[in-house]
Amino acid sequence: MALNIVVCLKQIPNPDLQFQVAPDGLDIKRDGLNYKINGSDEYALEEAVRLKEKNGGRVVAITIGPKRAESMLREALAKGADEAVRVAYDDPAAFDVGKVARILAAAVKMIPHDLVLTGVQSDDYSNSATGGLVAGLLGLPHVSVVTKVQVQGATLEAWSELEGGLQRKYSVGLPALLSIQFGANIPRYAPLPAIMRAARVPIKEIAPAALGFASWEAVALPYTFAVRGLAPPGAQDHAEMISGSPEEQAKTLARLLREKGFVRR
């Protein structure tokens, strides 16, 4: 059965970077950061492309974010997505997972879909909430922490990872939403010809009015949510924060291990 698949992607600051808290205490300093596709979303994208290759159909990659997120969408196109959509939401942090889910659900509703895929969580906030919230807003069955997917006619078989290495197998009617686990597959590299083709593909941009919102600030939520502060963790008993370059951190760690008696001099 050919599937119309929508895969939801998020662009995050490269987690290998050293982050600093912004002066207002509500976000990190974003000047000069470089960005990449969210870790588990890479596996969701790969799963979407594999399902298309095996069963036929079409893959649409969608994100909510500023203009810079288009580089991630072009990467998705180079790896096998057929279309890319950016919901033009310019808040660089987008802390409110409920608001993001409501906007994302409204956008996905506009796209023909038999299957919606997300990553299991974001590397920056780790809420593990977006997939479930979008599924609830769209009225779709949802399976999370998915490690394997097979199409069986008008249904899917999805394997979900449990504690202790166990797997639970679900049979899910379509349309459905699955949140894909880290390591579910091996994401591919985009070949150079595909990268060059993707650079010429137009990316569809969606504004608030197209989704029925007067503005992003007008997105109605059933609760009030606000970030009150952001700070690095303080040192606790028997703990010490290590900063500096990787080489400096390694030297500091070696010194601390010697001082604590874990390594002989």
- pLDDT tens figures, 124-175: 888 889 999 999 999 999 999 999 999 988 899 999 999 888 899 999 999 9
Q: Per residue in 79-108, is it b (16+ CB within 10 Å) or e — as a string? A: bbbbbbbbbebeeeebbbbbbbbbbbbbbb
| Whether residue 192 is found in the same domain as residue 62 | yes
The answer to whether residue 133 is domain-embedded is: yes
Round to whole Å and give the CA distance between 127 and 130: 8
| Whether residue 213 is found in the same domain as residue 244 | no
Report pLDDT for 132. 95
Round to whole Å and give the CA distance between 188 and 166: 27
Report pLDDT for 93. 58
Tell me the average pLDDT across 34-51: 96
Residue bearing the bigger pLDDT, 265 or 90:
90
Residue bearing the bigger pLDDT, 19 or 143:
143
Residue bearing the bigger pLDDT, 213 or 85:
85
How far CA 26 is from CA of 21, 65, 72, 92, 260, in Å, comes to 8, 18, 25, 12, 36
Pick from 15, 5, 47: which is nearest to 122 by CA? 15
Report pLDDT for 264. 62
The answer to whether residue 132 is domain-embedded is: yes
| Whether residue 140 is found in the same domain as residue 262 | no
| Whether residue 260 is found in the same domain as residue 140 | no
49-53, 171-175, 226-230, 245-249: the lowest-pLDDT one = 226-230
| Whether residue 209 is found in the same domain as residue 262 | no
| Residue pointed to by tokens 């939801």 | 8
The answer to whether residue 223 is domain-embedded is: no
The answer to whether residue 32 is domain-embedded is: yes
Region of residue 246 (left: phi > 0; alpha: psi -120 to 50; beta: else):
alpha
| Residue pointed to by tokens 């070949």 | 191
| Whether residue 107 is found in the same domain as residue 180 | yes
Report pLDDT for 1. 81
SS3 label, residue 255: helix
Report pLDDT for 224. 65
Round to whole Å and give the CA distance between 58 and 4: 5
- Which two three-digit tokens encode residue 153? 């006619």
Report pLDDT for 191. 94
pLDDT tens per residue, range 181-220: 999 999 999 999 999 999 999 999 999 889 988 887 778 7
| Whether residue 140 is found in the same domain as residue 240 | no
How far CA 10 is from CA of 87, 119, 139, in Å, comes to 11, 9, 22
The answer to whether residue 111 is domain-embedded is: yes
Report pLDDT for 126. 85
The answer to whether residue 249 is domain-embedded is: yes
Structural domain of 255:
233-265
**What is the pairing mode between strands 167-173 and 155-161?**
antiparallel
Report how many domains make up the chain: 2
CATH of the domain at 110: 3.40.50.620
How far CA 105 is from CA of 18, 66, 110, 131, in Å, comes to 33, 18, 9, 10
Q: Is the peptide bond before 175 cis (omega within 30 degrees of 0)?
A: yes
| Whether residue 197 is found in the same domain as residue 262 | no
